[in-house]
Amino acid sequence: MRIDMHLKDIELTPYTREQVEKKLTKILSRLPKDVPLKVSFEDNRQSYRALVQVHHQGKELIGRGESKNILTALENAIGKVDRQFEKQHDMSTTRRVELE
């Protein structure tokens, strides 16, 4: 799994970077190993923005999160991508059942 991390106006401490990688394991465990994962962080004076992008099975899954805490913003973005992944997975299994 390849993780591309982009930071805008932010420097992550080693602890924060470790926590980010730990939180990304939720998505990483569900995806094939060759799928690239893009994570972007931005400091917007009053809050942090996190953007998580995954290209999976021809679809672009995108989650955005915003919060005063960088890890909370990341959790929000991961949650959105996770819901999109579940929805896509449910639709593909439903279609298989309907076709049979």
- The yes or no reply on domain 2-99 and CATH 1.10.10.10 is no
Residue ranges covered by each domain of the chain: 2-99
Which tens digit of pLDDT belongs to each residue from 26-57? Answer: 778 877 777 888 999 999 889 999 999 998 78
Residue 37 · residue 30 · CB < 8 Å: no
3-state percent breakdown (helix, strand, coil) of the chain, nearest 5: 45, 35, 20
Of 61, 66, 57, the C-alpha closest to 95 is: 57
Model pTM?
A: 0.81
- At residue 3, φ and ψ (nearest 5 deg) are -115, 120
d(CA 24, CA 90): 22
Cβ neighbours, 10 Å, residue 25: 11
Comparing 89 with 14, which gets the higher pLDDT? 14
